[in-house]
């Protein structure tokens, strides 16, 4: 633990165990997920963008941003998990073989007739709900989404634009999750949630497996650049679903020589960090408002399935202040000459902000050394969202909201 910096970290020294990662996220699942996603009209591989000049500036070989803001014009990666989980749910409900599971069949009148009384439901901080609403609209089925009272109007409107009914729940994200579980049981809705709880594990697993399309694409893009694999992966976490999918995929694929895995969370909603800190075999929740600008990561309760993967694979856990994310957004929006411009929202930019802090702030030398971050390192980061809250985006980029404290300003 390092208490001298603006961020805190835990370096894991326990023996790695990739069993769960290989069980849930081996490449066969990724290929199956992508075979489905490729059938969705408008599907295309998102860009892997190189920040070569930034990497050189801070002492790395390369920084690569997998830009999910481009995904299916939905401004977020979440649709990859939600669409695949809904497809798998319908496959199981209608007893379809893998060969029968196609996007064309799912949107057919025949399928709709069999499912017309179905209502999909979920709780969300914004992006997941929009993905579920989009998929429900494509299937011509009803959708109900619960959001918490701190959700911005822009994110609520984005969900409603796809025909979903949105209910605002008094409390935080975890309160919305609990309420949707109660109401779904009462009204007969089918929950499509990216967090798990006892008795509800299959669908969250499908969601995480849907995310592996992203990593399979990234790995093929690395191969095209002549890079065998990234040496380090910085990935953000809310309930931990994306982190588990990302790390699980790479741990399974490169189990003999895996990248270093670093999980980053907001310091006001660091449930996975707290669980790693206590390391006592139980999940440790964060309560209260979870008041962070990283709305997509404002989760106080980790997914048990996600933790079962992360516990045996992660090299370091970090929790960072909000301005780390804001700085990451500004770095991407105002890049060094020759580096690409990337639009990133608050939850999308925090891994880059965390990497930048480690590489530039005094007192981080020990962490750099133990993680092996140096001039030979190629770092993968997933930009999970674009500009999902335009007013707040402008306040950060234009007005300097959540500015970097003077003690941590860039020195070179």
Q: What is the pLDDT of residue 392?
A: 97
Q: Is the pLDDT of residue 160 over 80?
A: yes
Beta-carbon neighbour count of residue 28 at 10 Å? 9
Rounded to an integer, what is the distance from CA 318 to the centroid of its chain?
A: 15
Catalytic residues: 78, 125
Mean pLDDT, to the nearest integer, of 389-412?
93
What is the pTM for the complete model shown?
0.96
Q: Summarize pLDDT for 96-132 with one digit per residue, the tens.
A: 999 999 999 999 999 999 999 999 999 998 899 999 9
Q: Is the pLDDT of residue 1 over 50?
A: no
Q: What is the pLDDT of residue 411?
A: 76
Distance CA 159, CA 69 (A): 16
Q: What is the pLDDT of residue 5?
A: 67
**CB–CB of 321/293 below 8 Å?**
no
Mean pLDDT, to the nearest integer, of 158-181?
96
Report how far apart the first and last C-alpha atoms of the chain are (Å, whole number): 27
Q: Summarize pLDDT for 170-189 with one digit per residue, the tens.
A: 999 999 999 999 999 999 99
Q: What is the pLDDT of residue 49?
A: 98
Residue 232 to residues 227, 274, 291: CA-CA distances in angstroms? 13, 22, 29
Per the prediction, the chain carries an average pLDDT of 96
**CB–CB of 265/318 below 8 Å?**
yes
The better pLDDT of the pair 5, 28 is held by 28
Q: What is the pLDDT of residue 363?
A: 87
DSSP string spanning 171-232? Answer: S-HHHHHHHHHHHHHHHTPEE--SS-BTTB-HHHHHHHHHHHHHHHHHHHHHHHTT-SS-SE
Q: Is the pLDDT of residue 2 over 50?
A: no
Domains and CATH numbers, the chain: 8-77+208-408 (3.40.50.1100), 79-202 (3.40.50.1100)
**CB–CB of 352/290 below 8 Å?**
no
Q: Is the pLDDT of residue 162 over 50?
A: yes
């Amino acid at each position: 633990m390092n208490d001298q910096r603006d961020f805190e970290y835990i370096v894991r020294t326990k023996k790695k165990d990739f069993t769960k990662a290989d069980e849930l996220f081996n490449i066969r699942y990724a290929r199956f997920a992508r075979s489905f996603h490729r059938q969705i009209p408008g599907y295309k591989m998102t860009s892997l963008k190189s920040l070569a000049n930034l990497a050189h500036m801070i002492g790395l070989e390369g920084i690569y941003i997998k830009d999910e803001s481009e995904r299916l014009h939905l401004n977020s990666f979440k649709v990859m998990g939600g669409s695949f989980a809904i497809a798998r749910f319908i496959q199981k409900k209608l007893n379809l073989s893998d060969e029968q599971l196609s996007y064309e069949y799912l949107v057919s009148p025949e399928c709709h007739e069999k499912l017309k009384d179905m209502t999909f439901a979920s709780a969300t901080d914004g992006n997941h709900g929009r993905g579920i609403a989009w998929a429900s609209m494509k299937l011509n089925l009803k959708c109900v989404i619960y959001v918490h009272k701190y959700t911005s109007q822009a994110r609520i409107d984005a969900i409603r634009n796809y025909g979903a009914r949105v209910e605002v729940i008094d409390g935080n994200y975890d309160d919305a999750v609990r309420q949707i579980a109660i109401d779904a049981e009462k009204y007969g809705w089918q929950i499509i949630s990216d967090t798990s709880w006892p008795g509800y594990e299959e669908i969250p697993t499908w969601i995480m497996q849907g995310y592996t399309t992203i990593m399979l694409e990234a790995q093929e893009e690395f191969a095209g650049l002549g890079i065998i694999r990234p040496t380090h992966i910085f990935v953000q976490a809310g309930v931990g679903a994306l982190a588990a999918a990302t790390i699980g995929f790479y741990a399974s694929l490169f189990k003999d020589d895996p990248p270093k895995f670093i999980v980053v969370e907001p310091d006001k909603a660091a449930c996975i960090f707290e669980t790693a800190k206590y390391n006592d075999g139980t999940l440790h929740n964060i309560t209260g408002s979870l008041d962070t600008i990283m709305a997509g990561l404002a989760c106080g309760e980790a997914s048990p399935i996600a933790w079962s993967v992360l516990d045996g694979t992660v090299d370091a856990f970090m929790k960072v202040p909000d301005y780390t994310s804001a700085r990451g957004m500004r770095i991407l929006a105002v890049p060094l000459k020759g580096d690409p411009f990337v639009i990133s929202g608050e939850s999308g930019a925090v891994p880059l902000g965390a990497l930048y802090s480690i590489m530039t702030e005094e007192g981080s030398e020990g962490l750099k050394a133990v993680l092996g971050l140096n001039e030979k390192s190629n770092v993968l980061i997933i930009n999970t969202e674009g500009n999902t809250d335009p007013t707040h985006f402008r306040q950060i980029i234009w007005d300097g909201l959540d500015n970097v404290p003077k003690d941590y300003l860039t020195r070179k």
